[in-house]
Amino acid sequence: MPKFAMFNTRYEDADKKPSFREAFKSKRCLIPADGFYELTKADDEKKDPWFIYLPDRKPFSFAGLWAHNDNLDVTSCTILTAAAIELVKELHSRMPVILDPSAYDAWLDPETPVPGAKALLSENLDA
């Protein structure tokens, strides 16, 4: 069992990390959500949760990677993250990559080469 869970990873170098390299090639997934939380420390040292969602509150999907560990018989996934957009930067410097629905098919297609998949992620960050 790993010392810590790798529930998210930076999209910029996930394709080069040994733990995610193979998954980035052919095991890309969508992780449905209707928002996500960021925590900030208050003056009293307690953590305040901030729920972040799209303006129209519609569900969306994070870009993710999945893998199956035969030794443990466990399937797991990770959410790709990127530098936060301006509205989120006040809370945290990173945030999950939210894919535009028009990119879903290409992201999920194992025939989409790694550079093309990374381009889908960066295009969505510019939107």
CATH of the domain at 51: 3.90.1680.10
Question: What is the C-alpha separation between 127 and 116, in angstroms, rounded?
Answer: 17
Residue 33 lies inside a defined structural domain of this protein: yes
Find the domain containing 24 and state its range: 8-126
Residue 112 lies inside a defined structural domain of this protein: yes
Residue 75 lies inside a defined structural domain of this protein: yes
**0.75 surpassed by pTM:** yes
Residue 2 lies inside a defined structural domain of this protein: no
Residue 83 lies inside a defined structural domain of this protein: yes
Judge contact between 127 and 116, C-beta under 8 A. no
pLDDT digits over 27-84, tens only? 999 999 999 999 888 778 888 899 999 989 999 999 999 998 888 888 989 999 999 9
